[in-house]
Amino acid sequence: MFKWGRTASLWGRSLACKYTSYANYATTKKFFKNTGIIYSDGRYEITLDQRKLKTPSGRPFYVESEPLALAISEEWDSQRDTVQRSSMHLTSLCSTALDNPNHLTKFDLANYLINYLTTDTLLFQSHDDDALYEMQQKEWDPIIQWFCDRFAVNMKKVRGFDAPTIDSNTKSILTRHLLSYDFAAVHGYTFGVDTLKSVILMLAAVERQITAERAVYLSRLEEEFQCGYWGRVEWSHDLSQQDLQSRLSAAMLIIHFQSSNIKKQSKGISV
């Protein structure tokens, strides 16, 4: 239906394929007892029984944020009898950012996110179910208004399947905002947006206007609406919801820790 730029389509396919290949390894028996962190030359490396963790392509695995290193170490330490790599989103996201298999730049990622706006979930509201439309107005419209106020843009939702028009000023403002982050953080944005199917919700979550749990609920609003009529299949709907919250939380942590680390380094330089 929509025409995507070459960079956007390549990144969308590569992110899905590469992240899946990194995250969905076959479950293996736990092969280590202790985890640790080594600090050297301004970066933190994770150790498993004194052996340094590596990315899937064999590169040294490292991060530049101590809190993020602690979170990743805890992710490994929390594994029990088996290593469930499919649940280790922080490790997988950082590995993908380090390996960067398609040699994408921060601008490529930002361009993908800007193009995603034309398919943002919140901008497509029901045209054939008035009850659902009322629910979307109540739940989504305040977030859209926050987004417009926060970035001084004018976003228009649509009722139906025609793509909304995103003006050049909006694209320029959001591009500058995204490029103010480092590569790993923009990579986190990309994964979070693909999780929520919404740039607007992702930005609201990162800027603490809504929680990760709330963001996932809003991204699944139509499904939640249908569940109100037909009921929930707890083992299915609840599992899906928890998985999305876990993925989104990992993306938000990477963005937060990477941004905090940059601010800390800047303060250190200015002293």
Residues 6+ apart with CB under 8 A from 243: none
Per-residue pLDDT at 249:
96
Q: For 192-203, how does the pLDDT look when each residue is reduced to its tens digit (9 = 90+)?
A: 999 999 999 999
Instruction: Please say if the pLDDT value at position 175 is more than 90.
Output: yes
Per-residue pLDDT at 30:
83
> pTM for this structure?
0.83
Q: Which residue has the higher pLDDT, 203 or 16?
A: 203
Domain boundaries, the chain: 30-99, 106-270
Per-residue pLDDT at 83:
85
Per-residue pLDDT at 52:
94
By the 8 A CB rule, do 248 and 216 touch?
A: yes
- Do 30-99 and 106-270 show the same overall fold? no
The whole-number average pLDDT for the span 79-94 is 89
Can you name the CATH fold of 30-99?
ATP12-like (3.30.2180)
Q: For 19-44, how does the pLDDT look when each residue is reduced to its tens digit (9 = 90+)?
A: 444 444 456 888 888 899 999 888 99
Q: Which CATH number fits domain 106-270: 1.10.3720.10, 1.10.3580.10, 3.30.1180.20, 2.60.40.1930?
A: 1.10.3580.10
Per-residue pLDDT at 20:
43
Q: Which residue has the higher pLDDT, 255 or 8?
A: 255
The whole-number average pLDDT for the span 208-230 is 87
